[in-house]
């Protein structure tokens, strides 16, 4: 999940690679979550990628995601698709409470989400620069609030001026269906990577309507086929420490990530995520 601060609106689905590094993914071009987080990154990499992940937490919740990226079929466009689902139980907010209840009665408030995101990017200058767009449709069915439909559209820009340096900027929720839950926000990020050694990355986000600011950074070590990741994210809603481990071999990756709230209850508790990603070798397709 990308957005921890409620002032930034609904959360975007992330893989364990990004979650482990402070949920910073605005410049993480190899992540399949870029379809939702920064669609401009779909234009920087030539790849066929597939990904699945499962998250447990917060509270009594479970979360899952499936993603696919096609950055190889056409040199003129990169495409991505994400489906994610969430089921969790939370304490009712005052507007959700029924008109009357029995004394001592437990009020169940299970919330269910199904999100679909489609993104595309136009690569330019031999994939050194790309402009991307996405659209998200969110279907909800809650015990107390009932059914609803929400959504938004984002614009993303990605650049790789030299190998090892990736820049990303997004304007989020520029076409919201429901403006209260999805305010306009902007995020900028940078990733510096040394091949087969490691990387550092960070991002800063700002929501003008709420004057909310949040930031995150992460680091990654690459000892052989292993990946060791850690990160931190802070906002007005609180802060979290994240870490993760992964095995990456011949385009396939099995990863685990955890986030631990340090201040505030910004995610409702600890998150654990398992992810598997597979990149189709060039000699197969």
In whole angstroms, how far apart are CA 164 and each of 131, 194, 199, 240? Answer: 19, 6, 9, 27
Q: First and final CA of the chain: distance in angstroms?
A: 31
Region 38-50 average pLDDT: 96
Q: 213-268: per-residue pLDDT in tens? A: 999 999 999 999 999 999 999 988 789 999 999 999 988 999 999 999 888 665 55
Structurally, the chain folds into a number of domains equal to: 1
- pLDDT of 38 reads 96
Inside any domain, residue 1: no
Up-side HSE of residue 140: CA atoms within 13 Å toward CB? 16
- pLDDT of 1 reads 40
Chain centroid offset of residue 192 CA: 19
Does pLDDT of 151 surpass 70? yes
Q: What is the mean pLDDT of the chain?
A: 86
- pLDDT of 215 reads 94
Inside any domain, residue 76: yes
Q: What is the pTM of this model?
A: 0.88
Specify the DSSP class assigned to residue 160.
Answer: -
For residue 123, what are the domain limits? Answer: 6-279
Chain centroid offset of residue 81 CA: 13
**Segment holding 37, helix H or strand E:** helix 34-37
Q: Are 247 and 18 in contact (CB under 8 A)?
A: no
pLDDT band at residue 4 under the 50/70/90 scheme: very low
* SS3 of residue 60 by DSSP: coil
Q: How many C-beta atoms lie closer than 10 Å to residue 233's C-beta? A: 28
CATH of the domain at 141: 2.40.160.60
Q: Are 150 and 180 in contact (CB under 8 A)?
A: no
* SS3 of residue 228 by DSSP: strand
Inside any domain, residue 284: no
Q: Are 259 and 240 in contact (CB under 8 A)?
A: yes
- The token duo for 262 is 């340090």
Does pLDDT of 105 surpass 60? no
Inside any domain, residue 285: no
Inside any domain, residue 180: yes
Does pLDDT of 51 surpass 60? yes
Q: Are 67 and 51 in contact (CB under 8 A)?
A: yes
């Amino acid at each position: 999940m990308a957005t921890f601060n409620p002032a930034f609106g609904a959360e975007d689905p992330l893989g364990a690679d990004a979650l482990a590094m402070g949920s910073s993914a605005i410049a993480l071009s190899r992540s399949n979550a870029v379809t939702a987080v920064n669609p401009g990154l779909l234009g920087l990499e030539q790849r066929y990628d597939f990904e699945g992940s499962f998250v447990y937490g917060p509270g009594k919740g479970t979360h899952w995601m499936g993603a696919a990226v096609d950055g190889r079929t056409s040199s003129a466009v990169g495409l991505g698709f994400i489906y994610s689902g969430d089921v969790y139980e939370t304490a009712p907010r005052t507007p959700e409470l029924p008109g009357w209840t029995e004394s001592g009665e437990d009020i169940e408030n299970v919330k269910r989400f199904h999100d679909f995101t489609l993104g595309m990017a136009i690569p330019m200058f031999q994939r050194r620069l790309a402009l991307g767009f996405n659209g998200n449709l969110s279907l909800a069915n809650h015990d107390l609030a009932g059914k609803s439909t929400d959504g938004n559209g984002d614009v993303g820009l990605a650049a790789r001026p030299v190998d090892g340096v990736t820049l990303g900027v997004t304007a989020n929720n520029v076409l919201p269906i429901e403006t209260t839950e999805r305010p306009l926000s902007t995020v900028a990020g940078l990733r510096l990577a040394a091949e087969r050694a490691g990387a550092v990355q960070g991002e800063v986000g700002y929501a003008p309507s709420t004057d909310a600011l949040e930031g995150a950074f992460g680091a990654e070590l690459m000892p052989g086929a292993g990946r060791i990741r850690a990160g931190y994210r802070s906002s007005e809603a609180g802060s979290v420490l994240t870490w993760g481990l992964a095995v990456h071999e011949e385009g396939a990756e099995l990863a685990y990530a955890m986030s631990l709230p340090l201040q505030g209850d910004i995610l409702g508790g600890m998150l654990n995520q398992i992810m598997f990603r597979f990149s189709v070798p060039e000699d197969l397709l």
